[in-house]
């Protein structure tokens, strides 16, 4: 979705409660200013992972935006997401998570992908990019899947079912051909 | 190896919250966000200069110890410069921060020659000078120089890290 073509569309984020984690105080301020500009009033911003974790234990959030590079001891923002997804009784366990990262090493990108976050966004942050991602996540209908160590949104963006000739691993696997594949087959 | 897959169909509370009537247009939301960011510009610029000054201090040859802790600190500060300069359209300064991140990420365990780091510090300080900040061709030249330094050293680091045949 290109927001430039939808500038007159109405959105209402007033009732969204959001947790933000950014190790840089000023990075957190920039993020908070952008978010408040979108109309989100209930924003709690943290610079320490332990404080963010405490808030996730006790509060309820509709959206989490975290910097994967935030570190405290041996833990980082990615570990916080992994921890959250493994909390059986936590109300925020399935809350959408957008990871917002500055410089990223290949291993950070790989770990972020496997953490269970919904989306990975590169800094520097712009209001347009962040709002696009928030609205995208709000429309995201992918189920959460739990397989091996992974718990998070289904990483298959297109449900094409299992590979041809292979039995699906999931009870809800779409064993019918994807419409595009059907068209190719018919051609 | 076969894994058992469990699927959870969960309520998207964000979708529910967003779908209520009222609010603002997307254009207005973006405009308000940009105005909000402008409100913290002065404060962030002061902080940016302080971060560049700290990188400068810890990487002066007389102070530089080259330890992993120092490199991690320089990497973190450079990452903050990348983000915070970029949020205010200081794209060349942001790019200088990214280049320094790239450089130091290859030497997170120490062992780096401080000179290329110093080149980045001088470039960052230059990009904050009004005469250079106001001249786009000079800004571009500064960043292109940094990219060349980092690309050369990163290639050397990859060769050094590659297993011997």
Contact A43, A20 (CB under 8 A): yes
Q: Is B99 within the bounds of a domain?
A: yes
pLDDT of residue B91: 94
Q: Is A43 helix (H, G, I), strand (E, B) or coil?
A: strand
Q: Is B92 within the bounds of a domain?
A: yes
Q: Does A37 touch chain B (CB under 8 A)?
A: yes
Can you say whether residue A67 is alpha, beta or left, with left for phi > 0 and alpha for psi between -120 and 50 degrees? beta
Chosen for mutation from A24, A47, A61, A92 (greatest number of chain B CBs closer than 10 Å) is A24
Q: What distance in Å separates residue B61's CA from the closest CA in chain A? A: 26
Q: How many whole angstroms separate alpha carbon B55 and alpha carbon B73? A: 8
| Cβ contact B12–A96 (<8 Å) | yes
Provide the domain limits for residue B45: 41-161
| pLDDT of residue B1 exceeding 80 | no
Q: Which two tokens stand for residue A29?
A: 């301020």
Q: Which of A103, A131, A144 sits opposite B30 (nearest CB)?
A: A131
Q: What distance in Å separates residue A52's CA from the closest CA in chain B? A: 19
Bridge partners of A76, per DSSP, are: A71
Contact B142, B127 (CB under 8 A): yes
Question: How much is the pTM?
Answer: 0.85
Q: Is B24 within the bounds of a domain?
A: no
Averaged pLDDT score across all residues of chain B: 89
Q: How many whole angstroms separate alpha carbon B23 and alpha carbon A11? A: 6
Q: Is B29 within the bounds of a domain?
A: no
Q: Is B34 within the bounds of a domain?
A: no
Domains of chain A: residue spans and CATH: 12-153 (3.40.50.2300), 161-187 (no CATH)
- CA B156 to chain centroid: 22
- Its ipTM equals 0.87
Q: Is B20 within the bounds of a domain?
A: no
Q: Is B102 within the bounds of a domain?
A: yes
Domain count, chain B: 1
Residues of chain A falling short of pLDDT 50:
173-187
């Amino acid at each position: 979705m290109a927001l430039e073509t939808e500038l007159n569309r109405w959105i209402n984020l007033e009732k969204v409660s959001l947790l933000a984690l950014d190790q840089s105080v000023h990075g957190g301020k920039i993020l908070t200013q952008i978010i408040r500009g979108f109309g989100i009033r209930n924003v709690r911003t943290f610079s320490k992972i332990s404080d963010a974790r405490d808030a996730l234990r006790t509060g309820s959030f509709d959206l989490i935006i975290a910097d994967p590079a935030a570190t405290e001891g041996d833990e980082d923002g990615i570990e916080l997401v992994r921890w959250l997804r493994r909390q059986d009784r936590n109300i925020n366990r399935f809350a959408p998570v957008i990871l917002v990262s500055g410089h990223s090493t290949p291993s950070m990108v790989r770990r972020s992908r496997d953490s269970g976050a919904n989306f990975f966004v590169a800094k520097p942050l712009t209001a347009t990019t962040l709002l696009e991602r928030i609205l995208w996540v709000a429309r995201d209908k992918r189920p959460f899947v739990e397989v091996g160590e992974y718990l998070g949104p289904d990483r298959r963006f297109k449900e094409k079912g299992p590979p041809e000739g292979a039995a699906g691993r999931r009870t809800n696997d779409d064993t019918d051909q994807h419409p595009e594949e059907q068209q190719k087959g018919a051609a | 190896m076969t894994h058992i897959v469990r699927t959870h169909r969960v309520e998207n509370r964000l979708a529910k919250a967003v779908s209520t009537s009222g609010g603002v247009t997307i254009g207005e939301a973006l405009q308000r966000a940009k105005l909000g960011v402008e409100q913290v510009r002065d404060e962030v610029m002061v902080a940016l200069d302080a971060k560049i000054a700290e990188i400068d201090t810890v990487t002066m040859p007389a102070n530089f110890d080259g330890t992993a802790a120092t490199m991690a600190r320089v990497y973190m500060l450079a990452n903050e410069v990348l983000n915070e300069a970029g949020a205010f359209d200081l794209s060349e300064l942001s790019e200088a921060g990214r280049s320094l991140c790239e450089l130091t990420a290859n030497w997170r365990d120490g062992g780096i020659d401080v000179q290329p780091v110093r080149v980045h510090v001088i470039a960052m300080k230059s990009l904050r000078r009004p005469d250079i900040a106001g001249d786009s061709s000079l800004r571009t030249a500064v960043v292109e120089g940094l990219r060349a330094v980092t690309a050369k050293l990163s290639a050397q680091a990859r060769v050094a890290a590659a297993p011997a045949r």
